[in-house]
Chain A
């Protein structure tokens, strides 16, 4: 029961934060909305007994992505321009397409009966660590390289021509 209340509260929070992110005029508000959405999703993950992932999510999204976002907003200036519309002329078409996409996905999810596992699986941090370094060691290494490349790339791109 508690889980259910938590699930619905967090769900509503996530959706509202998402809408806010997409619609808000002020970019700083949008960044904050992303932080709220991240926390809501992290909460949802807790209801799924995925504590490790929840913390990682908060760490990465709020600690890194949101902070970088704030930096970007600050650096590029005029994050809040009341005269200019926040969205382009694709507004109507975009809304329709998004709704279509939503209905498509919901159709797949709702109509198709998904075989629910009887046992509810839980994954401890230890198990995740073991899996990452055994069964998933290759993707893990690949993703590490990707991260390194992204790090170097970001530095090179953001630094520009002058050294």
Chain B
């Protein structure tokens, strides 16, 4: 039995779903950001697998971009968390509801 594209895609999907659950449920803003990083990871894996099995170099290139965006997002996201923490003394998302209608 060969390892096919489908195997990688399944792993990517599982990782994606797990991290989505994290995004839904974590109360800590830092944890939320980490879950989002995991999403990026899963996507990058899928793209890489695409290059390998579909013979398109674009997949890997795009994975590089995804990793870059993940890095940028991590930097900005965590800066935001720190800024919020400084203002609200809290990073609990359940209590950060001052934009409530």
Q: How far is the CB of B21 from chain A (nearest CB, A)?
A: 4
Check B48–A147 contact: CB distance below 8 A: no
Interface of B is mostly: helix
Q: Report how many A-B pairs have Cβ atoms within 8 Å.
A: 244
Cα distance, A149 to B53, chains bound together (Å)? 35
Question: Once the chains bind, are B3 and A68 in contact (CB under 8 Å)?
Answer: no
Chain A residues with CB under 8 Å of B4's CB are 116
How far, in whole Å, are A157 and B40 apart by their CA atoms in the complex? 23
Provide the bound-state CA to CA distance between A87 and B78, in Å.
20
Return the chain A residue nearest B63 by Cβ. A53
A36-59 with Cβ < 8 A to chain B: 37-38, 41, 44-45, 47-50, 52-53, 56-57
B27 proximity list for chain A (CB < 8 A): 84-88
| Interface size counted on chain A using CB atoms at 8 A | 84
Q: A15 vs B13: C-alpha distance in the bound complex, in angstroms?
A: 10
Interface SS of chain A: helix
Distance in angstroms from B67 CB to nearest chain A CB is 5
**Which among B28, B72, B80, B83 is the interface contact of A27 at CB below 8 angstroms?**
B28
Task: State whether B71 touches A64 (Cβ < 8 A).
Answer: yes
In the bound complex, do residue A155 and residue B44 qualify as a contact, i.e. CB atoms below 8 Å apart? no
State how many angstroms separate the Cβ of A3 from the closest Cβ of chain B: 6
CB closest chain-B residue, reference A20? B18
A-contacting residues, B49-101, CB 8 Å: 49, 51-58, 60-61, 63-65, 67-76, 78-83, 85-86, 91-94
- Scan residues 50-107 of chain A and give those whose CB is less than 8 A from a CB of chain B: 50, 52-53, 56-57, 60-61, 64-65, 68-69, 71-73, 75-76, 79, 84-88, 90-91, 93-95, 97-99, 101-102, 105-106
- Assuming the contacts A72-B33, A146-B69, asked whether A160 and B83 have C-beta atoms less than 8 A apart, the reply is yes
Identify the interface centre among A14, A38, A71, A127: most chain B CB within 10 Å of its CB.
Answer: A14
B45 proximity list for chain A (CB < 8 A): 41, 44-45
Q: Are A69's CB and B82's CB within 8 A?
A: no
* Interface hits, A9-40 → B, CB 8 Å: 11, 14-15, 18-19, 21-22, 27, 30-31, 34, 37-38
Could you say which residues of chain A place their CB within 8 Å of the CB of B21? 22, 94-95, 98
Assembly CA distance A60 to B37 (angstroms): 11
Q: Which residues of B pack against A, CB within 8 Å?
A: 1, 3-11, 13-22, 24-31, 33-35, 37-38, 41-42, 44-45, 48-49, 51-58, 60-61, 63-65, 67-76, 78-83, 85-86, 91-94
